[in-house]
Structure 1
Amino acid sequence: MIKNVHGNTVDRIGSDIVAGRYAPGASIPPEPLLCEELGVSRTVVRESIKSLIAKGLVTSGPKVGTRVQPPDQWNWFDADVIVWQTQAGLSADFLRDLQDLRRVVEPAAVALAAQRATAEDIADMEDAYAGMKRAIEFGGDYITPDLRFHQGLIRSSHNRMLVQMSRALGALLRTSFEISTTRKNGPAGSLPLHRAVLDAVIARDPAAAEKAVLVLIDGARHDIETVLASRKKIPRISRPATQLKAFPL
């Protein structure tokens, strides 16, 4: 999606903050300097600062200017914040926090899905699963159908708060899937685990669904810990999604 001047300005300042150009507690440059540096009007700068305040990156007040907030105040459910963090580089703590969050949210959501999923929900997840399987067998985009599968599970809980969270979790989940996909044969190994989750939902067995998704999440955690232990540079999130090579099942 092509962003307008406002979106590009938010991107530029936000990514600079997340990358550490402006330290927590420091003031960002005043409006005239930002206008000159970014080549935009004062109106665009002011609206962009409002957007960054809403994302928790900065605060603004009389006589103190616009100051950078510490990372624990940032909105980590904001897709832009996640993208800026992945561009700046992913930390081990960030990835571990993400896995902890998945372990808290997804099992409960999947247990509800096993009780509440409609025929339409199940058909959508079957289609997402088929997309993952095609990517493994013939090559192509595995990440997009994988994300669609997991968000479908959460939506199938038919809990409005969890569904809202699934939208916010999208960028976070994609981060995890991109890292896991770097493991040799990782997607092929996780495919039957996804099948077990979906089968338990179809069977209306909440306990089995919760158990199956925990196995899947813990497998992703193991993949990420293996990447971290290798001391290799943590991969940056690619755009578009990583394309798999064919892997005959």
Structure 2
Amino acid sequence: MIDPGSLLRSLSGRATARNFHSHVINEIGAGVISGRFPVGSILPNDAALMDEFSVSRTVLREALKTLEAKGLVEARPKVGTKVAKKSRWNLYDPQVLAWCLEAEPDEEFLAGLWQVRHALEPLAAADAARDRTGDQIRLMHYWLRQMEVALSEPQSFCLADFELHRIIAEAASNPFIRALQGVIELSHALAYRSVIAYELPYDLAPVLQSHRALVTAIERGLTSDAALAMVETIEYDRLQAL
């Protein structure tokens, strides 16, 4: 489990401290996603992995259980730990998505990512326009202000952008839309990583304006306008990611 925004903060290259347990999870999980441990292969035995990562059997076993819960591996009696089929990977898990970013996702993966956002986030915006609370509207305006003051700081801007989308997803009545947090964060990471990592110039003012229109529509209860405004913000992200 990683905290919301951790993937976006990592784009600047700042390393995050890890304990032994999380280190093993990260190394094996990233290895599965990248193909270092190919689908259908059997992981090295416990003794080899314990030696590679300098951890106890208890730490290794707990890490493998976590990876099994994410759908990446499966324990097979008398066989060992097998790398699971891609269809079993939990692509709504933020940590799995972080490994996908690290491994450079292919075109099929990227197409699916944007399709999911286009299909579900406009519904979230419409739901939010209908059901939003006063506190949620205040939070949306707060993150809009954070975007405005960070126009010259892309990493802070993208974090505020993500948080705004996260609040809108939280305001939706559909629990499956609320589960999109990792998908939304990954797409923001894809959109902003070049700007952040290489400090490339980029005019963020139009992005801010599109989000202002989105929040205005939600605040006024305009469901159709909110859905259309959400599509525009997603398109900004998609075009930045190309």
Sort the TM-score into its range (normalised by shorter chain): 0.7 to 0.9
Partner of 2:172: 157
Segments of structure 2 that go 5 or more residues without pairing to the other structure are 1-15
The answer for the alignment partner of 1:220 in structure 2 is: 237
Instruction: State the TM-score, normalizing by the size of structure 2.
Output: 0.84
2:192 aligned residue = 178
**Distance in 1 of aligned mates of 2:189 and 2:115:** 14
Match of 2:5 in 1: none
User: Residue in 2 aligned with 1:194?
Assistant: 211
Structure-2 change in CA distance of 1:139 and 1:5 (3 Å):
closer
- Counterpart contact for 1:125–1:152, Cα < 8 Å: yes
Instruction: Give 2:226's aligned residue.
Output: 209
CA contact (8 A) 2:97 2:183 kept: no
Deviation at 1:161, TM superposition (A): 4.0
C-alpha contact 2:188 2:237 (8 A) present in aligned 1? no
Cα drift, residue 180 of structure 1: 8.2
Aligned ranges for residues 1-249 of structure 1 at < 5 Å?
A: 2-136=17-151, 141-163=156-178, 165-179=179-193, 185-224=202-241, 227=242
What residue number does 1:238 align with? none
Structure 1 vs Structure 2 CA RMSD: 2.2
The 3-state SS of whatever aligns with 2:143 is helix
Contact 1:16 1:22 in 2 (8 A): yes
Letter in 1 for 2:239: H
Deviation of 1:135 (Å): 1.1
The one-letter code sitting in structure 2 at the alignment partner of 1:44 is V
Q: Secondary structure at the match of 1:67?
A: strand
2: CA distance, partners of 1:136 / 1:88: 29
Partner of 2:10: none
Q: CA deviation at 1:49?
A: 1.0
| CA distance 1:151–1:75, change in 2 (3 Å) | same
Return the offset for 1:71: 2.3
Whether the aligned pair in 1 keeps the contact of 2:191 and 2:239 (CA below 8 Å) is: no
* TM-score, L = length of structure 1: 0.82
The answer as to whether partners of 1:83 and 1:171 remain within 8 angstroms in 2 is no
Q: CA, structure 1 residues 187+181, in 2 after alignment: closer, same or farther (shift >3 Å)?
A: farther
Tell me: CA distance 1:198–1:66, structure 2 relative to 1, closer, same or farther (3 Å): same
Distance 1:39 1:140, change over 3 A: closer
Change (3 A) 1:174 1:137: closer
In the alignment of these two chains, the number of paired residues is 224
Identity %: 29
Output the CA distance in 2 between the equivalents of 1:26 and 1:129. 47
CA pair 180-100 structure 1, distance change in 2 beyond 3 A: farther
* 1:86 CA drift (Å): 1.5
Q: Give the CA deviation at 1:181.
A: 5.0
CA distance in 2, matches of 1:147, 1:41: 38
Question: Aligned partners of 2:235 and 2:154: how far apart in 1?
Answer: 25
Distance of 1:78 and 1:125 partners within structure 2:
24
Q: Deviations over 1:206-225 (max 9, x none)?
A: 0111111112223332333x
Structure 1 gap ranges (5+): 228-249
